[in-house]
Amino acid sequence: MTDADWLARAADLADAQVGRTAPNPAVGAVCVRDGRLLGEGAHLRAGGPHAEVNCLNSCTEDPAGATLYVTLEPCSTTGRTPPCCDLIRAKRLGRVVIGCLDPNPRHAGRAVDLLREAGIAVDVAEGPIADRCRALIAPFAKAIVTGLPYLRLKLALTLDGYIADGTRAARWITGPEARDWVQRLRARVDAVMVGAGTVRDDHPSLQPHLPDAPRKWRVLVDRHTSIEPRDLDDRTLLATRDLGYTGHDLAALLRALCAKGVNDVLCEGGGTLAGALLDAGLVDELLVIYAPKILGDPAAVRGLAIAPRPLSRALTLTPLDRLPLGPDTLLRFVSQRP
Ligand code: AOF
Ligand code: ZN
Mean pLDDT value of segment 205-211: 81
232 or 315, which is more confident: 315
Question: Is-catalytic flag, 177?
Answer: no
Model pLDDT for residues 93-107, shown as the tens digit of each residue: 999 999 999 998 888
DSSP 139-193: HHHHHHHHSS-EEEEEEEEETTSEEE-TT------S-HHHHHHHHHHHHHSSEEE
CATH number belonging to domain 147-335: 3.40.430.10
The backbone region for 320, taken as left when phi is positive above 0, alpha when psi lies in -120 to 50, beta otherwise, is: alpha
Rounded (10°) CA dihedral 207, 209, 212, 213:
-30
- Closest ligand by atom to 110 CA: 1
- pLDDT over 80 (residue 270): yes
- Closest ligand by atom to 99 CA: 1
Q: How far apart are the first and last CA of the chain?
A: 40
Q: Is the dihedral of CA 176, 177, 179, 180 positive or negative?
A: positive
- The mean-pLDDT minimum among 81-90, 207-216, 247-256, 276-285 falls in 207-216
Rounded (10°) CA dihedral 235, 238, 241, 247:
160
**Percent of the chain residues topping a pLDDT of 90:** 73
What are the phi and psi torsion angles at 16 (to 5°)? Answer: -65, -15
Model pLDDT for residues 284-298, shown as the tens digit of each residue: 999 999 999 999 998
Domains 3-142 and 147-335 share a fold: no
Active-site annotation holder among 52, 73, 268, 285: 52
- Nearest atom in ligand 1 to the alpha carbon of residue 78 is 8
Mean pLDDT value of segment 169-173: 78
Mean pLDDT value of segment 78-91: 92
Model pLDDT for residues 109-152, shown as the tens digit of each residue: 899 999 999 999 999 999 999 999 999 999 999 999 999 999 99
Please give the mean pLDDT across all residues of the chain.
92
What does the DSSP 8-state code read for residue 229?
Answer: G
- pLDDT over 80 (residue 337): no
Count Cα neighbours of 300 within 13 Å in the Cβ-side half-sphere: 20
- pLDDT over 90 (residue 169): no
Q: What is the pLDDT of residue 338?
A: 41
Domain edges within the chain: 3-142, 147-335
Q: Is 75 in the pocket of ligand 1 (CB under 6 A)?
A: yes
Q: What is the pLDDT of residue 30?
A: 98
- The mean-pLDDT minimum among 29-33, 73-77, 259-263, 269-273 falls in 269-273
Residue whose CA is closest, atom 17 of ligand 1? 104
Centre of ligand 1 from the C-alpha of residue 209, in Å: 29
**Percent of the chain residues topping a pLDDT of 70:** 99
- pLDDT over 90 (residue 185): yes
Alpha helices in the chain (DSSP H): 3-15, 51-57, 84-90, 110-117, 128-136, 138-146, 176-188, 196-202, 239-243, 250-259, 271-279
CATH number belonging to domain 3-142: 3.40.140.10
- Closest ligand by atom to 48 CA: 1
Q: What is the pLDDT of residue 225?
A: 64
SS3 255: helix
Centre of ligand 2 from the C-alpha of residue 136, in Å: 16
- pLDDT over 80 (residue 14): yes
Centre of ligand 1 from the C-alpha of residue 102, in Å: 9
Which residue out of 40, 72, 75, 258 has the highest number of ligand 1 atoms within 8 Å of its CB and is therefore the one to mutate? 75
- pLDDT over 80 (residue 336): no
14 or 209, which is more confident: 14
Centre of ligand 2 from the C-alpha of residue 52, in Å: 7
- pLDDT over 50 (residue 160): yes
Q: Is 102 in the pocket of ligand 1 (CB under 6 A)?
A: yes
- pLDDT over 90 (residue 320): yes
